[in-house]
Structure 1
Amino acid sequence: MSNPTSKHTPQPVSSKTTYALAGLAVVVVVAIVAALYLWNRGGGDEVRNDGYGPVRDPGVSVALDSDGAIVLGKPNAKTIDIYEDPLCPACGQLEKIYGQEIAQQIDLGKIAVRYRLVNFLDSRSKSKDYSTRAIAANECVAQAGDGPVYSKFHALLFTTEQPSEGGTDHDNKELAAIAKQAGASDDVAKCITAGERTDTGRAHAEASIKALEELVGKKWGTPSVFIDGKKIDVNNKTWVLDAGK
């Protein structure tokens, strides 16, 4: 669920603690109301750098770290960590508002992004494993190494193609089709369709949750953004530009 504290705030968030402790009926009502509130509030938010789109520079690479982090950027750029769940509405709002500005700063070599994907919202998807499968799909695309393709895929999954909590979600064939829309190869699509990285993606999600808990404790939420272990206030509309200074 999401509880924005200002007009321009896409977080906090979807909170693991809240989902775990609340009764199922309460969770469903609160999640739906909070998501509607977030999107209605977000509708008036200014999209930063609107029209830029995803990463453009073919010199931008993407790599899959051993711990599952997906690193998008140019060498020697300042790295920011973004923790997010593919089903999290507030994460979608973060991408909607700041994703294009992030893409431009990556193209300029100002920042690189280390995406740390988590799956605590699996149970809020119809398939009961959407977040995990979406993480696996992200890894299939990332391991191909094409930065602009990964950037477009990530943007699609968190904006126009993001499922709603409690609603229907994408099966693996649909995730593969979205990857193809982003420019991924047939081999990448086969990786997604076959679910080749599902178990690995699940393990990496658990590692990301552990890393997030080490940073902020058990009461964490998504999206969460860090630079050098310090949590960034994304209520500040210039946080992306500030990160690249």
Structure 2
Amino acid sequence: MSNTTTYALGGVAVVVVALIVFALFRWNSGNSEIRNDGYGPVHDPAVTVALDSDGAIVLGKPGVLETVEVYEDPICPACGSLERIYGQEIAQQIDEGKFAIRYRLVNFLDEQSNSKDYSTRAIAANECVAQNGDGPVYSKFHDLMFTSRQPTEGSGDLSDQDIAEIAKESGAPDAVQQCITTGERAESARNHAEAALTALEAANDGTVATPSVFIGGNKIEWTDEEWVLTAAR
């Protein structure tokens, strides 16, 4: 149920394609009921977003004790499935102060985009929106980028201007849109993606797989339909 890459030279493409096909087959064959459908992204203006020094994006209310760590690649189809199915349920739990989300964004699927750098540019845009500090705006932007506006691997992707328009639709101010269109955070995004990739390998027994979800340092199975409610207890 993930996009996976390893450093082995043989058979990597076949394994990755097989995993993607399996993921899409599973979610398109009836096991894809959207949780809390109709709730939408985060509503509560008390929810903030912060960009950590290592590039992690933390979305939640101040003082929340539980943090769920989520590794995603912006063009990863299974990451899109996670956000489509569980994103609204996650948003409600964040609004209720049950937990915060710590997004670690990676870019190992850059080569699967037409531009060959979409994941990196999308990470840079996420950083532009996050550093503004508005939790509901970032939540809406992240939701759109991973669901209705997510490009398909191997097909046309989004330009920086396209992404800036999504930020505008999400409520981001002009300065954030300019940050995206000028590529202001492109270099930091590459560095942060590399750091996240290293952290994911260490946490995941040397394997890079997205999406990967961790609570208290322990990996959980995100295809378990009750995982969000379990994290909120």
Length-normalised TM-score, structure 2 = 0.94
Structure 1 stretches of 4+ moved >3 Å:
18-24, 26-36
Is 1:16 matched up with 2:5? yes
Shift of 1:64: 0.1
Provide the C-alpha distance between the structure 1 equivalents of 2:15 and 2:176, rounded to a whole number of angstroms: 36
Provide the C-alpha distance between the structure 1 equivalents of 2:24 and 2:224, rounded to a whole number of angstroms: 22
Q: For residue 77 of structure 2, what is the aligned residue in structure 1?
A: 89
1:119-173 Cα deviation digits (max 9, x unpaired): 0000000000000000000000000000000000000000000000111100100
Match of 1:59 among 40, 46, 60: 46
Q: For residue 225 of structure 1, what is the aligned residue in structure 2?
A: 213
Q: For residue 102 of structure 2, what is the aligned residue in structure 1?
A: 114
Amino acid across the alignment from 1:169: D
1:1-245 alignment, distance < 5 Å: 11=1, 13-17=2-6, 21-22=10-11, 26=14, 30=18, 33-34=21-22, 36-41=24-29, 44-77=31-64, 78-245=66-233
Provide the secondary structure at the position in 2 that maps to 1:231: strand
CA contact (8 A) 1:38 1:90 kept: no
1:92-141 Cα deviation digits (max 9, x unpaired): 00000000000000000001000000000000000000000000000000
Shift of 1:232: 1.0
Length-normalised TM-score, structure 1 = 0.89
Distance 1:155 1:18, change over 3 A: farther
Distance 1:32 1:216, change over 3 A: closer
Amino acid across the alignment from 2:128: C
Identity of aligned residues (%): 62
Provide the C-alpha distance between the structure 1 equivalents of 2:117 and 2:150, rounded to a whole number of angstroms: 14
Shift of 1:31: 7.2
Shift of 1:238: 1.0
Which residues of structure 1 form unaligned runs of 5+? Answer: 1-10
Provide the C-alpha distance between the structure 2 equivalents of 1:216 and 1:46, rounded to a whole number of angstroms: 28
Shift of 1:35: 6.1
Which residues of structure 2 form unaligned runs of 5+? Answer: none
Shift of 1:30: 4.5
Distance 1:94 1:19, change over 3 A: farther
Provide the C-alpha distance between the structure 1 equivalents of 2:201 and 2:53, rounded to a whole number of angstroms: 19
Q: For residue 6 of structure 1, what is the aligned residue in structure 2?
A: none
Distance 1:111 1:18, change over 3 A: same
Amino acid across the alignment from 1:171: S
Provide the secondary structure at the position in 1 that maps to 2:28: helix
